[in-house]
Structure 1
Amino acid sequence: MTVRAVLFDFSGTLFRVESAECWLRAVLAELEVPLSAGESALAAEALARAGALPGGAHPTHVPDHLAELWAARDRTAELHRAAFTGLAREVPLPDPRLYDALYARHMTPPAWRPYPDAAEVLAGLRERGIGVAVVSNVGWDLRPVFRAHGLDAYVDAYVLSYEHEIQKPDPRLFAVACDALGVAPREALMVGDDRRADGGAAGIGCAVHFVEHLPVEQRPAGLRPVLGLVG
């Protein structure tokens, strides 16, 4: 069956979030909270281990009192915020304002960078008449990130877990994307970095292609094979 549409994951597939250290430094500067370089580095490392940065590393351990929130974190905006700010609060920081400010920072366009070949691949799909949807487990509106980085013009539909209260790998979220693009699941290719979450698309008959979740500098051309898969 010819591929008529491509569904893309967001974080780790088309975009990568900044490092935990850059994330924390930006908020410390914004709030004018003094912290030495060494203390900042240690705090950033602790936040990364805690899994407090959405789009970053998963927690090394989820505290029992946050386990239920963590499992359902992408179903609503409220659960997403509670889960990630809860993880952040497991790390002592010098100013209580930092926890909410860190969460707010990760939703801004400067916190994200597109992979080097993202624009090229999305433009190539548009030239071939292939529909594109972004299917993401997320608790906030990522459309402004795409607009700020010049990629919104290549996206036909956004299917975000918190807007449907369904999170991947539930096949229903991928079905919503296929319906939005007017294609049958067997005519769609899902591209993502998470074998469990993104692999759920196979449950409704979509083809699935995985990319590596690497820093932007280490994956300059990971998306280009997608163009070959659509013919």
Structure 2
Amino acid sequence: MVIKGCMFDFSGTLMRIEPAGRWLDAVLTAAGHDVPARQAARYAERLERAGALPGGAHPSAVPEALREVWRERDRSAEQHRAAFTGMARQAELPWDVYDALYDRHMTPEAWTPYPDAAEVLKELRGRGTAVAVVSNIGWDLRPVFRAHGLDAFVDAYVLSYEHGVQKPDPRLFTIACEALGLPTAQVAMVGDDRRADTGAAALGCPVHLVDHLPAADRPDGLRKILDLL
């Protein structure tokens, strides 16, 4: 079967979130807090252990009171914010910046495209391969793609919170294939999450996994897809 379309995950696949230290520093600076570097680094480490940064490290543990909202966090904008601000509060910061931290991660400045993302998406557009971004997320990432010059290469965005369905549920991938106007067997899925993104395989979609690494450490992880397709 000829592949005529490609679905891409967002976080950890096409773009990478900023490190927790930079994330916290940006928020503290904007709030006018002058915090010694060592103290800020200590609290950034707490946030990272708590899994408070969307797209960052997984939590070391999920408190009982947050387990349900955490499990279904990508089904709505409200659940997503509640889950991540709840996890951030586990770090017990001395400043009330939990909502500001959440707001920061939705800005284009908080995200870096992988080095080969633009090249690969442009090449797929040149080949006539339809592209969809399929993401478990609680907010509209389209402005991030526009700010980084990638929106022109994307034909459809299928975001979990807009449909009330999160990966690995095959329904989200079905919606994406329908948006591209292609049968599922003709659409590949590219992602970094072995559990969530391989849900597309249930529909007969070929799946290719990339490593969830900092952008500088994965310069050509996406480029290999061009040969596979």
Q: Give TM-score scaled by structure 2 length.
A: 0.99
Stretches of structure 1 lacking an aligned partner (at least 5 in a row): none
Q: Secondary structure at the match of 1:101?
A: helix
Tell me what 1:13 maps to: 13
Tell me what 2:75 maps to: 75
Measure, in 1, the Cα distance between the counterparts of 2:12 and 2:21.
Answer: 18
Tell me what 2:135 maps to: 136
Tell me what 1:175 maps to: 174
Q: Secondary structure at the match of 1:94?
A: coil
Return the offset for 1:34. Answer: 2.4
Q: Secondary structure at the match of 1:16?
A: strand
Measure, in 2, the Cα distance between the counterparts of 1:34 and 1:74.
Answer: 34
Tell me what 2:218 maps to: 219
Measure, in 1, the Cα distance between the counterparts of 2:98 and 2:194.
Answer: 30
Alpha-carbon RMSD: 0.5
String of CA shifts for 1:168-197, please: whole Å, max 9, x gaps: 000000000000000000001000000100
Stretches of structure 2 lacking an aligned partner (at least 5 in a row): none
Alignment of 1:46-195 (within 5 A): 46-96=46-96, 98-195=97-194
Structure 1 stretches of 4+ moved >2 Å: none
Measure, in 2, the Cα distance between the counterparts of 1:117 and 1:209.
Answer: 16
Alignment of 1:31-50 (within 5 A): 31-50=31-50
Q: Secondary structure at the match of 1:74?
A: helix
Measure, in 2, the Cα distance between the counterparts of 1:57 and 1:211.
Answer: 16
Measure, in 1, the Cα distance between the counterparts of 2:32 and 2:95.
Answer: 10
Measure, in 2, the Cα distance between the counterparts of 1:123 and 1:116.
Answer: 13
For residue 42 of structure 1, what is the amino acid of its counterpart?
Answer: R
Q: Secondary structure at the match of 2:21?
A: helix
Measure, in 2, the Cα distance between the counterparts of 1:146 and 1:8.
Answer: 13
Measure, in 1, the Cα distance between the counterparts of 2:190 and 2:136.
Answer: 14
Return the offset for 1:94. Answer: 2.1
The alignment of Structure 1 onto Structure 2 pairs a total of residues equal to: 229
For residue 95 of structure 2, what is the amino acid of its counterpart?
Answer: D
Percent of paired sites with the same residue: 65
Measure, in 1, the Cα distance between the counterparts of 2:162 and 2:92.
Answer: 32
Q: Secondary structure at the match of 1:190?
A: strand
For residue 7 of structure 1, what is the amino acid of its counterpart?
Answer: M
Measure, in 2, the Cα distance between the counterparts of 1:32 and 1:161.
Answer: 35
Q: Give TM-score scaled by structure 1 length.
A: 0.98
String of CA shifts for 1:137-196, please: whole Å, max 9, x gaps: 000000000000000000000000000000000000000000000000000100000010
